[in-house]
Amino acid sequence: GYYTQDDIREIVAYAEDRFITVVPEIEMPGHSQAALASYPELSCTGGPFKVSTEWGIREDIYCAGKEETFRFLESVLDEVVELFPSPYIHLGADEAPKDRWEKCPDCQRRIKEEGLADERELQTWFINRIGAYLATKGRRIICWDEIFEGGLPGDITVQVWRDDVEHNAVAHVAEAAKGGFDVISSPTSHCYFNEGVERISLAQVYTFDPVPPELTADQASHVLGGECNMWTEYAPQEAVDGQMFPRMLAFTEAMWSPTAGRDWQDFHGRLESHYKRLDAMGVTYGEKGEFIQATE
């Protein structure tokens, strides 16, 4: 499916009425196979490509060597900034394999011309170029934490998501904040609501603190907050609500309350009234019993 410009205007206005800013994420250079299916000339190989019907990481990404790529993305972003008043535009920059760039003469020429060390630096160069374009429109950019792999980018807000054997989300947030970058924290350990409650329980979400304890007050001021992610490749709307609620309630309270002021038992007691509210609003939510289990 797709959104028309009128659909977008409706969503933005609906959110604005509720004091919410919609931040669009226009993914680059990876996760771009849908765009490349229509514009294969913007890839390194020329395609052809099909729109993916499953989620996952794809090797075909925008070619960083071809000027057409930037003309295309700038014209897309011109349209995006018209529609979204958000001061931030998210550019993604996660999960972009460099296999094609390594073999592409255009990308290799770009690396030489720009004096870059490798394909990771090429990604940072790519993002900085788009970031500079958006700065001329008065917008700032957000990128997922992979952007740090290619050296320090320019004026960006980093969104930390990876938390696994190789990546420690708290350490990544701390490093970014200490480096003077604004940070949004959304680690897979607490914030991926597309995961089931058996992996991320309500109680786990309630303990989330986006600010690493080691930061000074000044450094901590760079942590803008957190985001819970609901990737929807496999989720019709009823499933989205069921995954989001009640965990969104725990997440929201965690974002509004310093860790010291949080009281799980108190929150737990107040949940019943939230369920009544959700019922009245027709919002589906996940297992009510889940929070009882989580307190045991």
Shortest Å, Cβ 65 to Zn ion: 4
Spatial separation of the C-alpha atoms in residues 111 and 117, rounded to whole Å: 7
CB 194 within 8 Å of CB 230: yes
CA 149 to chain centroid, in Å, comes to 17
Shortest Å, Cβ 41 to ligand ACM: 26
Shortest Å, Cβ 93 to ligand ACM: 9
3-state secondary structure of 244: helix
C-alpha closest to that of 67 among 39, 103, 107, 11 = 107
Residue 106 interacting partner from Zn ion, ligand ACM, none (CB closer than 5 to 8 Å by kind): Zn ion
The DSSP letter of residue 46 is: -
Decide whether 29 or 210 has the Cβ nearer to Zn ion.
Answer: 29
DSSP H helices, the chain, are 5-17, 33-38, 67-83, 99-103, 105-113, 119-135, 169-178, 202-206, 217-220, 237-244, 247-256, 264-281, 289-295
Residue 104 interacting partner from ligand ACM, Zn ion, none (CB closer than 5 to 8 Å by kind): Zn ion
C-alpha closest to that of 73 among 119, 99, 109, 35 = 35
Decide whether 90 or 110 has the Cβ nearer to ligand ACM.
Answer: 90
Decide whether 161 or 285 has the Cβ nearer to ligand ACM.
Answer: 161
Shortest Å, Cβ 94 to ligand ACM: 4
Site residues for ligand ACM per CB under 6 A: 94-95, 144, 161
Shortest Å, Cβ 45 to Zn ion: 8
Site for Zn ion in 249-268 (CB under 5 A): none
Burial label for 151, CB within 10 Å (0-12, 13-18, 19+), is: middle
Of 26, 36, 107, 211, the one binding Zn ion (CB under 5 A) is: 107
Site for Zn ion in 115-134 (CB under 5 A): none
Shortest Å, Cβ 105 to Zn ion: 8
Residue 94 interacting partner from Zn ion, ligand ACM, none (CB closer than 5 to 8 Å by kind): ligand ACM
Shortest Å, Cβ 253 to ligand ACM: 24
CB 7 within 8 Å of CB 24: no
Decide whether 60 or 94 has the Cβ nearer to ligand ACM.
Answer: 94
* Residue 36 touches Zn ion, criterion: CB under 5 A: no
* Residue 158 touches Zn ion, criterion: CB under 5 A: no
3-state secondary structure of 54: coil
Spatial separation of the C-alpha atoms in residues 282 and 193, rounded to whole Å: 20
Residue 95 interacting partner from Zn ion, ligand ACM, none (CB closer than 5 to 8 Å by kind): ligand ACM
Shortest Å, Cβ 288 to Zn ion: 51
Decide whether 32 or 194 has the Cβ nearer to Zn ion.
Answer: 32
- Residue 63: CB atoms within 10 Å: 24
Q: Within 13 Å, how many C-alpha atoms sit on residue 254's CB side?
A: 25
The size of the interface with Zn ion (CB under 5 A), counted in residues, is: 6
* Residue 195 touches Zn ion, criterion: CB under 5 A: no
> Interface with Zn ion by CB under 5 A: which residues?
44, 63, 65, 104, 106-107
